Amino acid sequence: MDNKDLTLGDFIKKVEGDLGKTEWITVFEFLDSKENIDRGAYFSALIANNKVDDVLKRYDWDLRIDGGRPGFITHYERGKSITEYYRFSDNGIEPLIYWRTFSGKKESSLEISEEFRLYFNLFEKSSGDDKKIFIYIDDDGDEDEVALISKSKIEIKLKYLKEFLSAKQMHLAIYFEAMRFSDKTLEELKQKKIDEVKNGENFTYSLCVRNLGEKMGSATI
């Protein structure tokens, strides 16, 4: 029997209730086959304080998961092409995490913003299970773990993120996507179609439950 919750109620409860309220926060993760999710991811970006209201009006991601690197952007003013160099992909939106890929020639890797690492003067060490641990060492020589990086996940201790955001006068945006698929149609599951946008004080997302083709139901958030 297919008993998946295509309304993603369990995932939504976690997003609305737990994000930003635990000691560690996930700022990047591929969710394939995790948490009963068939496909999904967490991503994040730094948002200028004056852009927060605008960002919360849209459920689209403001930064691509493989974006944020320096480069040139061309725009037009009064019919004239103007090319400018940007440290990041857009003014007021900065990457916290970099997912670096190399056209299949080298294995992809995850990195935390150099500015964040240098701000706390973090020491990096590798563990035996292919994880990287970033450590803060205070004036007394005491150590504290700040960030954990595995092949497909990055976690950062929330108190350090809050200090960093306060110093930069920015907010942290957490982006998420989750998909579930069923071998049965919505009619067979007695599930109504859903296509709606949900808004709260600190979140916005789109929830869609529909038939995918003729023989499969799917849900996307």
pLDDT tens-place string over residues 129-178: 789 999 999 999 999 999 999 989 999 999 999 999 999 999 999 999 99
pLDDT value, residue 220:
66
Could you state, in order of their start, the residue ranges of all structural domains in the chain? 9-116+152-220
> Would you say 151 and 158 are in contact if contact means Cβ atoms under 8 Å apart?
no
What does each C-alpha distance from 113 to 5, 27, 207 come to in angstroms? 36, 12, 31
How many CA atoms, within 13 angstroms, populate the side-chain half-sphere of residue 53? 1
- Identify which of 175, 215, 218, 173 has the alpha carbon closest to the alpha carbon of residue 195: 218
pLDDT value, residue 1:
42
- Identify which of 67, 71, 74 has the alpha carbon closest to the alpha carbon of residue 85: 71
Residue 86 parent element (H or E): strand 80-86
DSSP label at residue 49:
G
**What digits encode the pLDDT tens for the residues 15-58?**
887 777 889 999 999 987 666 788 999 999 999 999 999 999 99
Looking at the predicted structure, is the pLDDT value of residue 111 above 80? yes
For the entire predicted model, the pTM comes to 0.84
Q: CB count, 10 Å around CB of 21? A: 8
Q: Would you call 205 helix, strand, or coil by DSSP?
A: strand
Q: Would you call 119 helix, strand, or coil by DSSP?
A: helix
pLDDT value, residue 51:
92
DSSP label at residue 187:
H
More confidently predicted of 202 and 17? 202
User: What value, to the nearest 5°, has the Cα angle with vertex 161 and ends 13 and 47?
Assistant: 80
Q: Could you give the maximum distance between any two Cα atoms of the chain, in Å? A: 65
